Structure 1
Amino acid sequence: MNLTNNKMNGTQEFKTVLNEAELAYFEALIKNKKEEAQQELEYLMGTLEDIRTADDNDSSSIDHHMSDMGSIEESLDLTNRLIERNIKFIRELDRALVRIENGTYGICRATGQPIEKGRLEFAPHTRYSIAAKNSGLDKRIALA
């Protein structure tokens, strides 16, 4: 496979090797995953509100036990972490759509080589090949 190499402002940017049909497929896959993630986010936001409402109602009760408060705090913490994870995932999906638009989708950000289609199927938002991920290149680039 040949990659198109564009040099702009001293940086190398490789263009995708995926054809139009493949790009359309991955775009639809990403949009579908984004819609699912947004629905899950809405559900989690509702759950968070329900937990807070239940906590407010329970707080006024004289029989409000410490174990109940701990359980509510644990539920709030877990739900907040799930919300944060979902927001991050949606952001990554949006970035993948931008890469499709600018022609760099499916190219490893660390190596400049094509990302395996199987990996894109599994994680269509990924910016790194399995080799880059396993070698830790993805972490080093993220910190740079």
Structure 2
Amino acid sequence: MNTEHISNSPATRYSDKELEEFRELIIGKIDAARIELDNLVASMGNQYSNGTEDTSAAYSTLEDGAATLEKETMHQMAGRQKKFIEQLEAALVRIEHKTYGVCRVTGKLIPKERMRAVPHTTMSMEAKLRQY
């Protein structure tokens, strides 16, 4: 077997050691994302009075509108956080199947720098730029 040829060929997947490093990174991100989601859900659940009962109707309406907008924003943020967690969990599945870091468009190994920055990505920058 020509070992020189093997060492010069491009990697087709990350090593088990590299996959373990990514797994630890992703688990840390999932833990942080779940804490953030819990905080968002808790803040949405606070049914405290907005204190407008002793103010004029105009201010009460403004306060109610601001509270509604804030609640909608919190729901959107919570939705994005849930989606992020789901994407990170899917990345853990790819690690288990040893397909993590392989671009779903080009089939090439995505650089470590990109995987560290966006650990749930399934596309290389080359593939991402082709979309535009």
Shared fold per TM-score greater than 0.5? yes
Q: Structure 2: 5+ residue runs without aligned partners?
A: 1-9
1:36 matched residue in structure 2: 32
Higher alpha-carbon deviation: 81-90 or 63-72: 63-72
2:112 matched residue in structure 1: 117
Question: TM-score, normalised on structure 1?
Answer: 0.78
Question: Are 1:24 and 2:35 counterparts?
Answer: no
Question: Are 1:98 and 2:93 counterparts?
Answer: yes
How many residues are matched?
Answer: 120
* Aligned mates of 2:11, 2:42 — CA distance in 1: 48
Higher alpha-carbon deviation: 62-71 or 40-49: 62-71
| Amino acid aligned to 1:113 | K
Q: Structure 1: 5+ residue runs without aligned partners?
A: 4-16, 138-144
The alignment yields a C-alpha RMSD, in angstroms, of 1.8
1:61 matched residue in structure 2: 53
* Aligned mates of 1:19, 1:94 — CA distance in 2: 20
The structure richer in strand per residue is 1
SS class of match (2:106): coil
Written as runs of structure 1 = structure 2, the 5 A alignment for 1:118-133 is 118-133=113-128
Percent identity of equivalent pairs: 32
The higher radius of gyration belongs to 2
| Amino acid aligned to 2:75 | N
Written as runs of structure 1 = structure 2, the 5 A alignment for 1:71-90 is 71-90=66-85
SS class of match (2:67): helix
- Looking at both structures, which has the greater relative contact order when contacts are Cα pairs under 8 Å and sequence separation is at least 6? 2
SS class of match (1:29): helix
Asked if structure 1 preserves the Cα contact closer than 8 Å seen for 2:52 and 2:63, the reply is no
Asked if structure 1 preserves the Cα contact closer than 8 Å seen for 2:11 and 2:109, the reply is no
Displacement of 1:74 in angstroms is 1.1
* Aligned mates of 1:21, 1:111 — CA distance in 2: 24
